[in-house]
Amino acid sequence: MSEKIKFTIDGKECIAKKGQYILEAALENGIYIPFLCNMKGVKPAGSCRLCNVKINGRNMTACTTPVAAGMEVESEIPELQELRLSIIEMLFVEGNHFCPSCEKSGNCELQALAYKFQMLVPRFPYEFPIKEVDASSPKLYIDRNRCIKCKRCIRNIKDENGKSYFAFYKRAHDVEICLDKELAATMSDELAQKAMDTCPVGAILRKEKGFDQPIGTRKFDKQAIGTDIISVVENINMEVKE
């Protein structure tokens, strides 16, 4: 059994495995810290900054900071909630997000977070960037208007040799995802579906499959984001006692 350490999130006592990142440990303790770029089983990137927490007065990304014994983590404090809302708003203004006609509406994590944080209208001016779509691959439709550059696809969609189907190209503000055309030509339906499910927004869509899931039955129609976190802390507590 791996070593267990104790720490707190917003004063609540939590238990983590040694070396575990704060975000992962929080989820296991039944505490939701908002995130977009993180994905279970995929190496964290710390790119979206939504999971910012305060540790000893410093802002740290919960997905990339390992838990230390006795660590006091602050998460649901007004300062950080405001910061998270502003990040969500920035993501909306720097892309072209038209939820009404987007296939991912109802299954979109960005949209679900905007609802959670009760975003009404962004405080920042819309940039209305001109983005190219890429419909050239047989299985996927890449809509860069909606990409939030979380790199989930790059980290999670790989061939058997570990080569990624996706990559970033261009630099800084202009950075965009692209799809390896040669690899994409032989992509299976299963992997195409995995790519679509990996994308937290509607930037990666399976071709010829749209809107077949009725309104009202979609993931966040049924349950608001972050409310499905099931605490496994009781099990861990039992293990510690043993």
Name the residues that contact other proteins, by CB under 8 A.
100-101, 103, 133, 135-136, 141, 205, 207-216
Instruction: Please state, in angstroms and rounded to a whole number, the distance separating the CA atoms of residues 232 and 237.
Output: 9
Smaller CB separation from other proteins, 56 or 101: 101
Task: Give me the least distance between CB of 190 and other proteins, in Å please.
Answer: 20
Task: Give me the least distance between CB of 180 and other proteins, in Å please.
Answer: 17
How far is residue 183 CA from its own chain's centroid? 25
Smaller CB separation from other proteins, 100 or 125: 100
Dihedral angle sign, alpha carbons of residues 54, 82, 223, 104: negative
Task: Give me the least distance between CB of 101 and other proteins, in Å please.
Answer: 4
Q: HSE-up of 48 (CA within 13 Å, CB side)?
A: 29
The 3-state secondary structure of 68-85, one letter per residue: CCCCEEECCCHHHHHHHH
Smaller CB separation from other proteins, 19 or 210: 210
Task: Give me the least distance between CB of 124 and other proteins, in Å please.
Answer: 24
Smaller CB separation from other proteins, 31 or 205: 205
Instruction: Please state, in angstroms and rounded to a whole number, the distance separating the CA atoms of residues 235 and 219.
Output: 27
